[in-house]
Structure 1
Amino acid sequence: MPEVFQPFASFGLQHRMPMRFEADVFECEVEGEIPEALKNGAYYRTGGDRLYPTLEEDIILNGDGMFSMFRFEDGHVSYRSRYVRTERMKAEMEARRRLYGKYRNKYTDDESVGNLPNRDNTGNTYAFAHHGELYALREDSRPYRLDPQTLETLDIGEFGDLKSSALTAHPKIDPKTGEWWSYGVFAGGEPTTDASIHVFDRGGKLIREQWFHTPYPGLCHDWGVTREHIVLPIMPLVADEKRLREGGDYYQYDPDLPSKWGVMPRDGDPATDMRWFDIPGIVMGHVMNAYSEGDTVVIDTPCSPGNCFSFFKDKNGNQPTMPETITQITRITFDLSQPDAEAVTLEPLNGALGDMPKIDDRFAMEKYHTGYFALRDFPQMGIGQIDWDTGEIKVHELEGAASQEPVFVPRAPDAPEGDGYVLVAVDRMAEKRMDLLILDGNDVSRPPVATIKLPFPQPMCFHGCWVPA
């Protein structure tokens, strides 16, 4: 008998049902006028959804990749969404049932399933473009390549002599060199302390790979790269092979462990030059930006006082309370001229509750002034804009709705920082549909420049990018 669909656990202690919905909308309804900077190009996004039923108590990170695009053509906008047709999905489609079990736990798979090399590669985390290619990234795997016009899944990307089995779902593109900076924890494919930093040039050629060990086998979802330094955070959500063999979760939160922050010179060797700092009592998932000023390294990141990855229980079997999951954008400063115990300063930004931080990517890796984020200070929901010089926060208020990740597009290649537009998908829960807002990057509190309407909802996407035509 076919399995029934179970709700899966999402962030903020929420539960969602899969949508199982690929869509095409030719000529979307548009209110307002599409700006000249967005007349031609595509906004790509990806998130997790399940084609076949999940196990009970499954989590959003285990969803099949649902890749989507808003294509802009001479001021007209069309929409398309397609599953990332991974080896895993194709096997399930052939069997016409679920074959794969819990998130990153091969020991929970159907007994008919062999040891699929790309078992965990669902392509559900970051729609990423580099050297003319479009990828569906996932932090534990090598990404799938997609056709940027049709969203057809092509193949798993080729990455030269790369040894790491993992490419982070949060790469950093150097705006000056065009290099793709990446890393992988559990780089050998198993939950160990093996890790790798790797760099590809602007043409996609591997030019650097260095292996090292992290302090413990913890979660590392995002990182910071500056012009002079690398910052690699390891969170106290710990993976354990024994627990996996017993059918348990991939990660388990250990509140007794401090988060570990590795800082090293950008041109150094992580095996010998990484300096590890302890920051107890916080968990982070994403990075807004990072920069260096002499011996001082700054990283801006939403931090929670407990486990913001709320679908993973702690080592005592408890889920976090809601206050423990709330993230606040925090400036963390490492003064490398000081001893470890005196080197770290944390400065939470008042009013900056939320996540999914983004910047004007032309100013990545250096001192910057403007940041954007999804504001989640319930009941106040919206899109926030930070002026780091003054600490001022401007807010585009949302009523009965919630924003996903904002993405910035400059008005022109040489426009001042923040002079451009913010693309942000907004879930209209009561109306059961989604809008794509185009906001003024200089002041998101203003009414939308344009609103692109979809007549239906879409699954939550995690991360995406704008690609000009």
Structure 2
Amino acid sequence: MPEVFHPFASFGLQERKPMRFEADVFECEVEGEIPPELEGSYFRSGGDRQYPSLEDDIILNGDGMVSAFHFEDGHVSFRSRYVQTERLKAERGARRRLYGHYRNKYTDDPSVSNLPQRDNTGNTYAFEHHGKLFALREDSRPYELDMDTLETKGVGDFGDLKSTALTAHPKIDPETGEWWSYGVFADGEPSTTASLHVFDRDGKLVREQMFETPYPGLSHDWGVTREHLVFPIMPLVADDARLRKGGAYYEYDPDLPSKWGVMPRDGDPAKDMRWFDIPGLVMGHVMNAYTEGDRVILDTPASPGNCFSFFADKAGRFPTMPETITQITRIVFDLSKPDDEAVSLHPVEGALGDMPKIDDRFAMSKHSIGYFALRDFPQMGVGQIMWDQVGLGGELRVHELAGAAAQEPVFIPRRPDAPEGDGFILTVVDRFEEKRADLLILDGNDVSKPPLATIKLPFAMPMAFHGCWVPSEKAA
């Protein structure tokens, strides 16, 4: 008997249902004028279940859905396709659900109990490096996709990499072109084993070092500066015994502090890591990180409780809304001080939201501008922080949305040598009442201005997590 589709839990205590369609829109409707500098493609990845899931499913368990907005001569076309993973192909072959709860192989149909890459859905980040497009998820090896058609080519070649996991938040060094990455649970099971790894500008593995984390906690994003690495471990703990009982992959432990490993960029993580405690703080994403002398500065949306609202705590309690709200916060690690004095937190007033981004040409170095999806309900939109003015009379710039919410904003420079922030913000906006989506093009110097152009889609879209812009000359 066919199964029904259950709502799945999303962020912000929301519930959603999968949309389950691939689409092509040749020649999208455009309101306004596309800036002539925008020649290339904007790729995004999110989760959308093709087949019904078990009850109490979560958004992180969706099949990878990659979408692309192709810009050419002032015209825009759209395409979306499922990532054809081994997991999805097995379900399509059976024409039914085979996989159970998020990262819990003990809830699967027995026919797929030994499938490698069981959790690899490619649903988190559409990421380009060395002329190749990848669909990333933090517990797996990324799939490679064709940039034009979004056809799935297969799992990428990562050389002699030992880690089974590559973070869904890699960092590209704008000076060397290197792909910096890491993976927790690097041996494939909930554990304290982690891996630091680096690929050169051509995608060749040039460094891998194994190390241990303080506990088997969630680590979704990290910080890389020109001199240091920062590894955050959050108190959402994985446990195989709980999985065997059919429980959730992560469980929030409010009695544990978040742990922050800081080490020299050229050091050995097994020997040179210094771990700091930050109690009562949970984060998922990093805007950027940089080093000034003995101070390592990291900007992140941080919450006072569990912002991963679909995971209960060890008492079985789910968080309340105030506990899940993230605020852009500057964390400073002063390495000249003792551990218990080294950390200071500096939240930015009014900067409530997530999905932070910068002008990536300034990654790993000091940045003066940051962008994020503003989520200060009922005020929703896109926020812009002028960091040099914070606390000095400067104001938070906001592009306000009515009856809508923005997904991740991505910055594209006007030209390669343009000043920081001189360019464009692309962000998909969910129009709730109209049940459809737009892609807004905003002025990167001041997002509060009206959109330069609006690309309209005649349908809604699944939530995408993270994406990237690929200029046309790189995609050629």
Q: Same fold (TM over 0.5)?
A: yes
Within 5 Å, which residues of 2 pair with 1:257-296? 257-296=256-295
Instruction: After superposing the two structures, state which structure 1 stretch, 406-415 or 28-37, moved more.
Output: 28-37
RMSD after superposition: 0.4
Q: Are 1:17 and 2:17 matched, yes or no?
A: yes
Question: What is the TM-score normalised by the length of structure 1?
Answer: 0.99
Q: Which among 401, 409, 414 is matched to residue 411 of structure 1?
A: 414
Can you list the C-alpha shifts for 1:81-134, whole angstroms capped at 9, x where unaligned?
000010000000000000000000000001222311100000000000000100
CA distance in 2, matches of 1:277, 1:426: 38
CA distance in 2, matches of 1:99, 1:122: 14
Within 5 Å, which residues of 2 pair with 1:127-276? 127-276=126-275
1:447 equivalent in structure 2: 450
1:57 equivalent in structure 2: 56
Contact 2:105 2:113 in 1 (8 A): no
CA distance in 1, matches of 2:179, 2:108: 34
2:4 equivalent in structure 1: 4
Q: Are 1:427 and 2:430 matched, yes or no?
A: yes
CA distance in 2, matches of 1:130, 1:280: 36
What code does the residue aligned with 1:314 have?
D
1:360 equivalent in structure 2: 359
Instruction: After superposing the two structures, state which structure 1 stretch, 258-267 or 111-120, moved more.
Output: 111-120
C-alpha displacement at 1:19, in angstroms? 0.3
Give the % identical residues. 79
What code does the residue aligned with 1:132 have?
G
Can you list the C-alpha shifts for 1:156-212, whole angstroms capped at 9, x where unaligned?
000011000000000000000000000000000000000000000000000000000
Listed as ranges, the gaps of 5+ residues in structure 2 are none
CA distance in 2, matches of 1:51, 1:9: 16
CA distance in 1, matches of 2:68, 2:322: 34
CA distance in 2, matches of 1:115, 1:193: 23
Instruction: After superposing the two structures, state which structure 1 stretch, 360-369 or 110-119, moved more.
Output: 110-119
Q: Which among 399, 402, 409 is matched to residue 396 of structure 1?
A: 399
2:94 equivalent in structure 1: 95
What code does the residue aligned with 2:448 have?
S
Corresponding pairs, count: 468
What code does the residue aligned with 1:310 have?
S
1:316 equivalent in structure 2: 315
CA distance in 1, matches of 2:427, 2:341: 39
Q: Give the 3-state SS of the residue equivalent to 1:232 in structure 2.
A: strand
What code does the residue aligned with 1:290 have?
A
CA distance in 1, matches of 2:262, 2:154: 35
C-alpha displacement at 1:328, in angstroms? 0.2
C-alpha displacement at 1:296, in angstroms? 0.4
C-alpha displacement at 1:327, in angstroms? 0.1
Can you list the C-alpha shifts for 1:278-300, whole angstroms capped at 9, x where unaligned?
00001000000000011100000
Question: What is the TM-score normalised by the length of structure 2?
Answer: 0.98
2:468 equivalent in structure 1: 465
CA distance in 2, matches of 1:197, 1:111: 34
What code does the residue aligned with 1:182 have?
S
2:26 equivalent in structure 1: 26
Within 5 Å, which residues of 2 pair with 1:333-344? 333-344=332-343
C-alpha displacement at 1:440, in angstroms? 0.2
C-alpha displacement at 1:267, in angstroms? 0.2
What code does the residue aligned with 2:26 have?
F
CA distance in 1, matches of 2:37, 2:441: 11
CA distance in 2, matches of 1:432, 1:134: 29
CA distance in 2, matches of 1:23, 1:237: 36
CA distance in 2, matches of 1:54, 1:71: 32
Contact 2:63 2:82 in 1 (8 A): yes
What code does the residue aligned with 1:31 have?
E
Q: Give the 3-state SS of the residue equivalent to 1:112 in structure 2.
A: helix
Listed as ranges, the gaps of 5+ residues in structure 1 are none
Q: Give the 3-state SS of the residue equivalent to 2:308 in structure 1.
A: coil
C-alpha displacement at 1:36, in angstroms? 1.8
Can you list the C-alpha shifts for 1:399-420, whole angstroms capped at 9, x where unaligned?
0000000000000000000000
C-alpha displacement at 1:80, in angstroms? 0.3
CA distance in 2, matches of 1:234, 1:177: 27
Can you list the C-alpha shifts for 1:293-350, whole angstroms capped at 9, x where unaligned?
1110000000000000000000000000000000000000000000001000000100
What code does the residue aligned with 1:36 have?
P
C-alpha displacement at 1:239, in angstroms? 0.2
TM superposition outliers: structure 1 runs of 4+ over 6 Å: none
CA distance in 1, matches of 2:154, 2:449: 42
2:306 equivalent in structure 1: 307
Q: Give the 3-state SS of the residue equivalent to 2:60 in structure 1.
A: helix
Q: Give the 3-state SS of the residue equivalent to 1:389 in structure 2.
A: helix
CA distance in 2, matches of 1:456, 1:241: 41
What code does the residue aligned with 2:252 have?
Y
